[in-house]
């Protein structure tokens, strides 16, 4: 070890976003998180991921919380630590492509409310879908981190990843993340990949993986030895399973080596002690499924992320067709190949998975195609790495279907002013138009709830219970 240059590994903590998204469907409330922020701020993390991904949708839909207010509270609490978010490129935090004016404004407001690092990804790795968000982050002086949605397949060679990393550097990104959402990156492959990327680009490299397939901690070890700059971990009560490797374990792994983080294990233990009862409560209520805590080697066989596996199970259960589970798993790689072999990450994972379910249940492949399958085949999501299966495209879309070859957002008119007009009656802050843009129905319900809660404060609980206040 003596001849290795001292290079402490940086750690990005996921417990306030991806860890609870992966294990308990993003149900941790702001109230549950805030009391521990002060201690987390003392650890010395490279950053804390606390926003974006599914947190925005879940806050509004299930927790009746304003996600912007959550971010502002985190910003007040984290005085020494950078805050990070996950951003779905042109889809922002939603499930469709948005016009450039909405994407740019969302980035602007995210930074204004406290975000320092924006991790931007596209479900097809189509860099055209990332440029607007990267340029907007550059303009706001935030760190624009572009994530490669890591996957396996004929097209995804080492040369492919190296070439795309060079293009990411050219587009103005500040760092690169290898986003291994399904836990497919095995240890020695991680070593090869990191070394190749380090030779090809001068940008810092971060590695994000999930423990689903059981190899993630070993993958981090080899990645760190190969020169990766940052790894993503979760405090132990919400680590492992479909989440990330445990922060404390990785800290201990590198103690006394050139990669030593210098983190205080007793401080990390206090943070773990805080989250453990929240985890236990989630287990007791059924919110945390013990299955999500185990190792599922089928991830490596079928390349299906943990969240997608649970989606397939619930879809089949609803149709009383749980006996078709393995048929659907075998169909997933075939559908993926038909659709141009995209990485399986939101929303492409849902599109491929749902179509695989339909193909099996209908007894005929593509007898019925979802709207999203049609959209991906017509180019509305962007360009895939490999061509579509033309026979499938013709069956689903017809012989004369018009195919989009340009950047999909080039076909969208600016929409911010229209959206502002639609939600004007509910707006109490400028950010509300962005909330409405992403989830119009859910946002409207939330705005009504917010107004009712404010009326309660104005009129008092007793009046509300007797129905004597104006709604």
| Domains held by the chain: number | 3
Are residue 231 and residue 354 in the same domain, yes or no? no
How far out from the chain centre does Cα 271 lie? 24
Confidence at residue 463, expressed as pLDDT on a 0 to 100 scale: 44
158 in the same domain as 136:
yes
Same domain for 258 and 351, yes or no, is no
Note whether residue 411 is domain-resident.
no
| pLDDT for 211 | 95
Residue 299 lies in a domain: no
Q: Which residues, including other chains, have CB under 8 Å from residue 134's CB and lie 6 or more apart?
A: 120, 144, 146, 171, 172, 173
Q: 420 with 369, same domain?
A: no
Q: Name the residue range of residue 456's domain.
A: 416-465
CA 116 distance to own-chain centroid:
17
- SS3 assignment, position 120: strand
261 in a structural domain: yes
Question: Is there a domain that residue 98 lies in?
Answer: yes
- Please list, residue by residue across 254-287, b when 16 or more beta carbons sit within 10 angstroms of its beta carbon and e when fewer do: beebbbebebeeeebeebbebbeebbeebeeeee
In a domain, 363, yes or no: yes
The answer to whether 46 touches 11, Cβ cutoff 8 Å, is yes
Residue 26 domain flag: yes
- Regarding whether 272 and 323 lie in a shared domain, the answer is no
Give the domain-ending residue among 290, 318, 343: 290
Judgement on whether residues 87 and 183 belong to the same structural domain of the protein: yes
Residue 166 shares a structural domain with residue 259: yes
Ranges of the chain with pLDDT below 50: 1-2, 462-471
Three-state SS at 44 = coil
In a domain, 104, yes or no: yes
Domain assignment present for residue 295? The answer is: no
User: In this structure, are 351 and 397 located in the same domain?
Assistant: yes
| 461 & 349 share domain | no
Considering the domain architecture, whether residues 204 and 323 belong to the same structural domain is answered as no
Are 283 and 173 contained in the same domain? yes
If DSSP codes are grouped into helix, strand and coil, which group holds residue 10?
strand
End-of-domain residue from the set 259, 290, 321: 290
Same domain assignment for residues 308 and 215: no
According to the model, what pLDDT value does residue 294 have? Answer: 87
Q: Work out the mean pLDDT of the chain and round it to a whole number.
A: 93
Q: Look up the pTM and report it.
A: 0.93
Contact 109, 430 (CB under 8 A): yes
CATH number at residue 217: 3.20.20.70
CATH of the domain at 341: 1.10.472.90
The pLDDT tens digits of the residues spanning 125-134 come to: 999 999 999 9
| Residue found by looking up tokens 């804390």 in the block | 48
**pLDDT of 395:** 97
User: Is the C-alpha dihedral spanning 423, 438, 353, 308 positive or negative?
Assistant: negative
User: What was the pLDDT predicted at 461?
Assistant: 52
Whether the Cβ atoms of residue 381 and residue 124 lie closer than 8 Å to each other? yes
Listed residues 241, 268, 290: the one ending a domain: 290
Q: What is the pLDDT of residue 337?
A: 96
Q: Taking a C-beta distance cutoff of 8 angstroms, is the pair 57, 21 a contact?
A: no
């Amino acid at each position: 070890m003596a001849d290795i240059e001292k290079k402490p590994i940086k750690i990005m903590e996921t417990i306030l976003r991806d860890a609870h998204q992966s294990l308990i469907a993003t149900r941790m409330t702001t109230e549950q998180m805030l009391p521990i922020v002060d201690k987390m701020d003392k650890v010395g993390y490279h950053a804390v991921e606390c926003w974006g991904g599914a947190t925005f949708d879940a806050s509004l839909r299930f927790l009746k919380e304003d996600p912007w207010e959550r971010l502002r509270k985190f910003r007040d609490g984290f005085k020494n630590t950078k805050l990070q978010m996950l951003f779905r490129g042109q889809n922002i935090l939603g499930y469709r492509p948005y016009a450039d004016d909405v994407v740019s404004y969302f980035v602007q407001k995210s930074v204004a409310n406290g975000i320092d690092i924006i991790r931007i990804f596209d479900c097809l790795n189509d860099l055209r879908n990332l440029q607007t968000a990267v340029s907007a982050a550059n303009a706001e002086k935030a760190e624009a981190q572009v994530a490669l949605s890591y996957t396996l397949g004929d097209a995804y060679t080492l040369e492919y990843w190296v070439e795309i990393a060079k293009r990411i550097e050219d587009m103005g990104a500040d760092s690169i993340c290898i986003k291994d959402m399904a836990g497919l990156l095995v240890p020695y492959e991680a070593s090869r990949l990191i070394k190749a990327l380090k030779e090809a680009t001068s940008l810092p490299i971060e590695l994000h993986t999930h423990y689903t397939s059981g190899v993630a901690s070993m993958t981090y070890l080899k990645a760190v030895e190969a020169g990766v700059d940052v790894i993503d971990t979760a405090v132990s009560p919400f680590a492992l399973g479909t989440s990330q490797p445990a922060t404390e374990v990785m800290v201990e792994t590198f103690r006394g080596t050139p990669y030593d983080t210098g983190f205080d294990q007793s401080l990390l233990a206090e943070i773990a002690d805080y989250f453990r009862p929240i985890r236990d409560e989630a287990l007791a209520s059924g919110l945390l499924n013990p299955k999500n805590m185990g190792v599922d080697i089928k991830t490596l066989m079928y390349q299906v992320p943990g969240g997608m596996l649970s989606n397939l199970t619930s879809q089949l259960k609803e149709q009383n067709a749980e006996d078709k589970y393995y048929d659907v798993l075998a169909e997933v790689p075939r559908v993926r190949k038909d659709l141009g072999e995209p990485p399986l990450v939101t929303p492409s994972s849902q599109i491929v998975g749902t179509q695989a379910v339909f193909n099996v249940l209908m007894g005929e492949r593509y007898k019925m195609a979802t709207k999203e399958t049609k959209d991906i085949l017509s180019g509305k999501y962007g360009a895939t790495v490999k061509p579509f299966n033309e026979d499938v495209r013709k069956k689903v879309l017809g012989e004369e279907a018009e195919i989009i070859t340009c950047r999909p957002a080039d076909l969208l008119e600016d929409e911010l002013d229209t959206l502002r007009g639609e939600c004007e009656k509910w707006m109490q802050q400028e950010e509300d138009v962005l909330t409405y843009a992403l989830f119009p129905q859910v946002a409207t319900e939330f705005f009504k709830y917010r107004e009712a809660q404010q009326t309660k404060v104005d009129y008092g609980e007793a009046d509300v219970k007797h129905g004597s206040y104006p709604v």
